[in-house]
Amino acid sequence: MTSLESDIDLLAMEARRSAVAPRRFGAWYVAEHQIRVWRRYLGVNIASAIGTPVIYVFAFGIGLGVLVAASAGPGGIDGVDYLVFVAPALIATSAVTIVSSEFTYPIMLGFKWNPTYIGMNAAPLSARQIMDGVILFVTLRMLTASIVYYLVMLAFGAVPSPLGWLTILTATLTGLAFGTPLLAYSASLKEDRGQFAVVQRVLVLPLTLFSGTIFPLTQLPWFLQWIGWLSPLWHGSELGRVVAYGAERPPWLIAVHVIYLVVLAVVGWRFAVRVATRRLDK
């Protein structure tokens, strides 16, 4: 064996050793990359994470809540004050807002405008690891934002149950149930022709109004209630109310909420991985 062949073999061996960690922890590397990008806007993100729940709790608890309490009477909504009723829906809505932001334009950015996903895939990272890393980062972001939201709710007395901290998990699950199908859709797009604007106006905004968030779903006409039944936001809000103030819901319905959200999250994740694999592993 010549010296040149020996050097090539050594370099190949070193390359294989260097690829072991990325192949094993690739999703975490992708999440780390996303976190480093997010840190560039740390001040704005922190201000938004704190300011948004404070403003919303003030608006619904002290603003709209006063009007609702005056008309609802001493029983309130669902047997509690309006702020207590709406708080679990607000934290779930904040998670949906995060995924509707992170799983739209940034995904097209990674595939097309600034093709970092293509660069990652050229390294020892698979399409699945890339998608897993993106989902992992967004999940961490939802968790931290939900923790801040919960602390604000707690400060305003909007979480009377000792199990109220579970709203952090129900909100995150709601975000994943809504977000992973959106991720799969975004990963399939080759051109931006206003699809994301349509998603925001036709899907995200109506769901916040027709998912039993700011008023009970039963107050909608019967022919519109099906929108809430299909909406992850309704299922997540109802789960949040069960743990936040002990809302009385039949056990079978609680099981339906959990199963529906988990199935949506898993199916959306599988489709996102399949679309990204078809697009990157060519």
pLDDT in tens, 4-26: 555 455 544 554 554 544 556 78
Q: What phi, psi does 47 have (nearest 5°)?
A: -60, -40
What's the average model confidence in pLDDT over 80-90?
Answer: 88
Among 125, 147, 140, CA closest to 53: 147
Reduce the secondary structure of 49-63 to three states and give it as a string.
HHHHHHHHHHHHHHH
Q: What is the number of residues in the chain?
A: 282
| Other beta carbons less than 10 A from residue 206's beta carbon | 12
- Token pair 């002990």 is found at 246
Q: What is the mean pLDDT of the chain?
A: 85
77 bridge partner residues: 80
Q: Is the pLDDT of residue 181 over 90?
A: yes
Convert the pLDDT of each residue in 192-242 to its tens digit. 888 999 888 888 888 888 888 888 888 888 888 888 889 999 999 999 999
Instruction: Tell me how far apart the alpha carbons of residues 189 and 278 are, in angstroms, rounded to a whole number.
Output: 12
Which residue range(s) make up the domain with 119?
A: 3-280
| DSSP H or E run through 124 | none
Q: At what angle do helices 127-155 and 3-39 cross, to 10 degrees?
A: 30
Contacts of 185 (CB under 8 A, 6+ apart): 199
Q: Sorting pLDDT into bands at 50, 70 and 90, what band is 48?
A: confident
Distance of CA 140 to the CA centre of its chain: 9
Among 204, 211, 218, 267, CA closest to 239: 211
Count of the separate structural domains present in the chain: 1
For residue 103, give the DSSP letter.
Answer: T
Among 242, 246, 214, 210, CA closest to 229: 210
Q: Is the pLDDT of residue 254 over 90?
A: yes
pLDDT at residue 74, as a whole number:
56
Instruction: Give the predicted TM-score (pTM) of the model.
Output: 0.88
pLDDT at residue 76, as a whole number:
67
